[in-house]
């Protein structure tokens, strides 16, 4: 025991002391996760390979390669695009406003004729006013009241001023002969109870009160014209085409809106303008920066009827803000999704095939080892037998 302790002391005495740098390098070396594995080999190979394993490997590789090619086909042909839409209610108390919609791709044109004759500017039959209305809530003697300010919006024959990218279509529809606003200084905002309530009003009235410069036609003459008249409205509208990856937000002309006026009746229509948003992720490598587009869209018009007013109003159209907004989203199948799906398929196929082939390869491995052992035993017996035979022959001589 004393000798052992003495040897331990001598070993510790002559043990080399490591420097701080050597300690650090030893730590770095111990953290190496790329070091070569030292394993036993069998027949010169680190794995026991079989024909059935090779055939399965070739089959699995071909299957995975085919699946990856299919995923690339899906990605480049955009056959797995995610499309969704949702809506939200805007908080009108925060002065949500569509300001100068004419500069955002929204425009409208109008026409009023009967028998091919334009009666919109013939004040002896009808008068037409296009106004911007701004309503403000005020307090009068402690009670709430509204104050409305009206500003005339000038208009004239369109003649190329209708905002649409395809002017050939404008000519084909005859909209050049309609009337267009000559300014975009108008807005729509809020609802009736909002602090900021703006809308555009188009009002068509019969000529009732003659002036020094205008003499009104008789009631019978005006009503005869009304029976064959039509007030037409063309709107520069915007739609979403989810199948168009170059121009998903498209502008079209809504030309199907018209009203036939009726004697002794007033028609009122609310045309709702909605501020929508489109979010497109059409890049194969998506980094979280989609293409976002805001656009205005006429979604509906609500029509009501009431008796003709004392001022002779027969048609009133309100362009109003719709407090609902639509959000359209499109996301194509990306390269990141392809990698994830291919990796998951690869892992699943590898696990299933590995489990199934292991049932055979394990038995084949054991069988191969047993054959090797039997061959060694046979070789030893043969050598022993040959040695014994040689000894007997020598003694016989």
The whole-angstrom separation of Cα 168 and Cα 319 is: 27
Q: Is residue 27 part of a domain?
A: no
The whole-angstrom separation of Cα 267 and Cα 259 is: 8
Q: Is residue 386 part of a domain?
A: no
Whether the CB-CB separation of 179 and 107 falls below 8 Å is answered with no
Query: What CA–CA distances, in Å, run from 157 to 122, 162, 295, 320?
Result: 14, 10, 26, 24
Residues 291 and 357 reside in one and the same domain: no
Residues 279 and 299 reside in one and the same domain: yes
Q: Checking DSSP bridges between strand 313-321 and strand 265-281, what pairing results, if any?
A: parallel
Residues 221 and 261 reside in one and the same domain: yes
**324 burial level (CB within 10 Å; 0-12, 13-18, 19+):** middle
Q: Is residue 395 part of a domain?
A: no
| pLDDT of 329 | 92
Give the domain range for residue 347. Answer: 36-80+333-365
Whether the CB-CB separation of 314 and 204 falls below 8 Å is answered with yes
Residues 337 and 255 reside in one and the same domain: no
Q: Which residues pair with 233 in a beta bridge?
A: 110, 257
The whole-angstrom separation of Cα 380 and Cα 386 is: 10
| pLDDT of 397 | 43
Residues 70 and 197 reside in one and the same domain: no
The whole-angstrom separation of Cα 273 and Cα 237 is: 10
3-class secondary structure, 317: strand
Q: Which positions ≥6 away from 83 have C-beta within 8 Å?
A: 242, 328, 329, 330
The whole-angstrom separation of Cα 312 and Cα 128 is: 11
| pLDDT of 385 | 54
Residues 320 and 337 reside in one and the same domain: no
Report the number of distinct structural domains present in the chain: 2
* DSSP-assigned letter for residue 325: E
3-class secondary structure, 208: coil
Q: Is residue 374 part of a domain?
A: no
**CA quadruple 221, 222, 226, 229: dihedral, nearest 10:** 90
- Nearest residue to 326 via CA among 390, 277, 256: 277
Residues 193 and 261 reside in one and the same domain: yes
The whole-angstrom separation of Cα 336 and Cα 284 is: 8
**CA quadruple 315, 319, 325, 328: dihedral, nearest 10:** 90
Q: Is residue 227 part of a domain?
A: yes
Residues 51 and 132 reside in one and the same domain: no
| pLDDT of 324 | 85
Q: Checking DSSP bridges between strand 197-206 and strand 313-321, what pairing results, if any?
A: antiparallel
Q: Is residue 14 part of a domain?
A: no
Would you give per-residue pLDDT tens digits along the chain (397 residues)? 555 555 555 555 555 566 788 777 777 767 666 555 656 665 665 665 666 777 878 888 899 999 999 999 999 998 888 988 888 887 766 656 676 666 566 789 999 988 888 888 888 889 899 999 988 877 766 666 777 889 999 999 988 888 888 888 889 888 888 999 988 788 888 888 777 788 999 999 988 877 767 888 888 888 888 888 889 999 888 888 888 888 888 888 887 788 888 888 889 999 988 888 899 998 888 888 888 888 888 877 778 888 877 788 999 999 988 888 889 999 999 999 999 999 999 999 888 877 777 666 666 556 666 566 655 555 555 666 566 555 544 444 4
Residues 246 and 274 reside in one and the same domain: yes
Distance of CA 385 to the CA centre of its chain: 85
Whether the CB-CB separation of 338 and 254 falls below 8 Å is answered with no
- Nearest residue to 124 via CA among 266, 317, 312, 306: 312
Distance of CA 107 to the CA centre of its chain: 26
Residues 168 and 157 reside in one and the same domain: yes
Query: Does the global pTM surpass 0.75?
Result: no
Whether the CB-CB separation of 263 and 249 falls below 8 Å is answered with no
3-class secondary structure, 384: helix
Residues 204 and 351 reside in one and the same domain: no
Q: Is residue 371 part of a domain?
A: no
Q: Is residue 377 part of a domain?
A: no
Residues 259 and 339 reside in one and the same domain: no
């Amino acid at each position: 025991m004393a000798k052992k302790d003495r040897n331990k002391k001598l070993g510790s005495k002559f043990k080399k002391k490591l420097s701080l740098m050597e300690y650090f390098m030893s730590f770095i070396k111990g953290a190496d996760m790329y070091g070569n594995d030292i394993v036993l080999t069998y027949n010169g190979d680190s794995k026991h390979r079989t024909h059935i394993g090779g055939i399965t490997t070739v089959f699995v590789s071909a299957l995975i390669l085919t699946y990856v090619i299919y995923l690339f086909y899906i990605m480049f042909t955009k056959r797995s695009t995610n499309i969704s839409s949702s809506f939200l209610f805007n908080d009108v108390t925060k002065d949500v406003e569509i300001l100068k919609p004419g500069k955002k791709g929204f425009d409208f044109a109008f026409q009023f004729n009967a028998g091919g004759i334009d009666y919109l500017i013939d004040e002896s039959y009808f008068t037409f006013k296009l106004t911007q209305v701004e309503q403000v809530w005020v307090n009068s003697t402690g009670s709430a009241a509204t104050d409305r300010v009206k500003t005339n919006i000038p208009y004239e024959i369109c003649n190329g001023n209708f905002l649409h990218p395809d002017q050939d279509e404008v000519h084909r529809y005859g909209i050049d002969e309609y009337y267009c606003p000559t300014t975009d200084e108008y807005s729509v905002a809020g609802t009736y109870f909002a602090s900021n309530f703006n809308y555009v009003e188009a009002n068509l009235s019969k000529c009732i009160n003659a002036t020094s410069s205008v003499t009104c036609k008789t009631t019978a003459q005006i009503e005869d014209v009304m029976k064959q008249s039509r007030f037409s409205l063309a709107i520069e509208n915007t739609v979403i085409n989810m199948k168009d990856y170059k121009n998903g937000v498209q502008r079209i002309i809504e030309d199907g809106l018209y009203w036939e006026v009726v004697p002794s009746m007033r028609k009122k229509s609310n045309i709702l303008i909605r501020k929508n948003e489109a979010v497109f992720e059409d890049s194969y490598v998506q980094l979280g920066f989609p293409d976002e587009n805001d656009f205005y869209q006429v979604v509906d018009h609500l029509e009501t009827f009431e008796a003709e007013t004392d001022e002779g109003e027969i048609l009133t159209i309100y362009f109003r803000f719709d407090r609902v907004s639509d959000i359209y989203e499109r996301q194509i199948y990306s390269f990141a999704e392809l990698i994830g799906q291919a990796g998951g398929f690869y892992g699943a196929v590898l696990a299933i095939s590995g489990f199934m082939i292991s049932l055979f390869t394990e038995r084949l491995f054991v069988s191969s080892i047993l054959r090797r052992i039997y061959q060694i035993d046979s070789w030893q017996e043969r050598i022993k037998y040959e040695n014994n035979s040689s000894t007997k022959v020598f003694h016989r001589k």
